[in-house]
Amino acid sequence: MGEFQDKELEKWLKSLPKIEDHRSPSDIYRQIEWKMKRKKRRSWIISSVASVAALLLLTFLYIPQWLQDNDFAGDSYEQRQNVAENEKNGKFAKKSEKEIHLYTEEPSPGSMDKEGTSDTESDAGGNYEGLYSAVYDTDISGYQTFIYPIPDKEGQIIVPVTVLAKRESDKNRMEQFEELMPYLKEEEWGLSDYFPINGKLTLSENDKNLHVDLPPNHQYGEGSSAEHNFIRVMHYTADMFGAETITFSTAGNAGVNFGHTGFVEKMQVQKEASCGYYFYYPSGTEKKPYIVPSGHSCQNIREALAAMKNNVESERLQASIPENFLIREVAASGDLLIMRLDERAAITDDVDTIYTIEAILLTAKDFQFKRVRMENANIRRVGKFEFGKDWPVPVGPNLIRLEK
Amino acid sequence: MDSVFEELYQKYHQDIFQFLFYMVRKRELAEDLVQEVYIKVLKSYHTFKGKSSEKTWLFSIARHVAIDYFRKQKGWKKRLAEKFDVTEHPIKDKAPLPEEIAMQNEEIQLVYQCLDACTLDQRLVIILRFIQELSIAETAEALGWTESKVKTTQHRALKVLKKEMQTRTKREGRDE
């Protein structure tokens, strides 16, 4: 066989044999019925177990609190307060009792045992250099970050990708942002070929305005999805540059015509809605996910963390917090988010847990937290994340190194 | 038996089964997944608004079921195996050909084996376009893509297939 021609190949593909299911429809239907009943029963059992667990949890949580409130546990409270003072130079001693309790509770004997037995390997934590997805302050000395909001190939979600660029004193940030656009390899990254923008972006830092000038034949009004995504990308970009408004022009004349929205001259910048970060695998086979915000809104971070345990089918986003990552309590202390894990949470030191932690950190950032602390894990650390310590939230998600 | 099931079975069962079989390449697995498709369909049939054809709607559900299966496959066990460099391809190569394929001529067997080299998206398009013989517009509807994306993906898939077929043919020539 030599060179293959398209026609020949198509002919062979069309000749692939018909494959039939030989089971009878009644057999198939019986199995479907059985599966559906089993699913219902399983969800009933799960909800019953969850209710009992919730009751038990309430009992465990409230009885010690009640004892404390009634001064029956005075000694241990003082002791805890001292630990808090030692740990945080008195900073948290001023917080409410509930917060101090959350920070300083001694690990239970069970978890001490767990730590003791898992010892050295989990103490060190795996080396995941180069595998982290997000960008942190410590990664960027001498560099500045640009976040490009890139739509996926189906145009359903926006994937924020962070790119590092050397600081260049003779150029402003917007110039550098535009200069880097041609170097983005969106298709190679499994996303849609979106940048450079077919237009000119100008930032007026004094007016906090992003001006967008489009050519008359621009493609951003072709179909509601193209238009919707373009507007999202512009809002995202404006927000990154600290702009509060966006103005539009077409070939220098004020305003732009969008098929759906109509004629627009100015928009107030709206921050992307956030209900947690999820995993996105463009073709379903990648090893490293993009960590992507859902685009829905949530009331608070508790709601977001609960939502992150479920897939968002409509946007093909995968849950970023696995079932066994059990979070018992979430509390805020200024710009610090404190998460207390359940005793039964089975945290493993692997790269998937790194991505789960990064998804949580990015979510915390969206809710204006600057640091996150996780307490009561069954291991000491996962990669560079040491439990019980404050972790700064990332500078940006999905770091991609550009080859210029 | 549920009348919705009966009607869908009569009209589309073998098409959906065949689609799933070529996606996952295992009869038993395709049998399980086709049941998952019915479960999803029976739960949401009342929401079907007739915007797309019933057939493309069913294919879009089958596609989600197949993709979900592949995602679940990426569990920790598999990743562990990958760490120890047990790559997928040698295992797939050794898997015996399904009976229906083994009965075909050499070229068709080769095409079937080379489908492995395609990405999931490319395989979806190849199966819908050439095995299910859906038009570009129907394929776009089933996958929720634009027609131009279907065309580009089809073009790339054929290119990948040709390249893989040439590589395998050369390799087999050398081995002989």
The low-confidence residues of chain A, meaning pLDDT below 50, are 44, 63-122
Q: Return the closest-CA partner of residue A391 out of A379, A376, A404, A373.
A: A373
Dmax of chain A from CA atoms? 88
Do A342 and A326 contact (CB within 8 A), yes or no?
A: yes
Q: Is the pLDDT at B90 greater than 60, yes or no? A: no
pLDDT at A299: 83
Note the pLDDT of residue B47: 64
Please give the span between the terminal C-alpha atoms of chain B, in angstroms, as a whole number.
55
Using a CB–CB cutoff of 8 Å, tell me whether B35 touches chain A. Answer: yes
| DSSP letters spanning A41-104 | HHHHHHHHHHHHHHHHHHHHHHHHHHHHHTTTTHHHHHHHHHHHHHHHTTGGGGS-HHHHHHHH
Could you tell me which residues are beta bridge partners of residue B142?
none
pLDDT at A216: 86
Instruction: Write down the pLDDT at residue B151.
Output: 92
pLDDT reported for residue B86: 39
The alpha carbon of residue B38 is apart from the nearest alpha carbon of chain A, in Å, by 7
Q: So what's the pLDDT on residue A95?
A: 32
Interface of B with A in 121-140 (CB under 8 A): 121, 126, 130-131, 133
Using alpha carbons only, what angle is made at residue A196 by residues A193 and A199, rounded to the nearest 5 degrees?
Answer: 125
Instruction: Give the whole-angstrom CA distance, residue A56 versus residue A38.
Output: 27
Nearest CA in chain A to B25: A19
CATH 1.10.1740.10 fits B1-86, yes or no: yes
> Given CB atoms, is B61 within the 8 Å cutoff of chain A?
no
Distance in angstroms (rounded) separating the CA atoms of residues B130 and B124: 10
Q: How many CA atoms lie within 13 A of A1 on its CB side?
A: 21
Q: For the stretch A330-365, what's the b/e string if a residue is b when 16 or more beta carbons lie within 10 angstroms of its beta carbon?
A: bbbbeebbbbbbbeebebbbbbbbbbbbbbbbbbbb
Confidence band, pLDDT 50/70/90 cuts, at residue B83: very low
Q: Is-contact A364 A352, C-beta < 8 A?
A: no
Residue that is written with structure tokens 């996606």 in the block:
B23
Q: Residue A210 is inside which H or E element, if any?
A: strand A209-214
Phi, then psi, of B47 in degrees rounded to 5: -90, -5
Residues in a beta bridge with A159 = A150
A185 token code pair: 């390899």
Tell me the CATH number for domain B105-176: 1.10.10.10
Average pLDDT, chain B: 81
Chain A contacts of B100, Cβ < 8 Å? Answer: 17-19
User: What is the tens place of the pLDDT at every residue in A283-312?
Assistant: 766 778 999 998 788 888 999 999 999 988
Query: Judging by beta carbons within 10 Å of its beta carbon (0-12, 13-18, 19+), is residue B31 exposed, middle or buried?
Result: middle
**Separation CA B58–CA B9 (nearest Å):** 11
Our CA-based measurement puts residue A195 at a distance from the nearest CA of chain B, in whole angstroms, of 17
Smallest Cα distance from B94 to chain A, Å = 20
ipTM: 0.86
Order the strands of the A390-392 sheet from edge to edge: A327-333, A336-341, A371-375, A390-392
Domain parsing of chain B, residue ranges: 1-86, 105-176
Would you call A21 and B98 a contact, using CB atoms and an 8 Å cutoff?
no
Identify the burial level of B107 via C-beta atoms within 10 angstroms of its C-beta, where 0-12 means exposed, 13-18 middle and 19 or more buried: middle
Number of Cβ pairs < 8 A linking chain A and chain B? 116
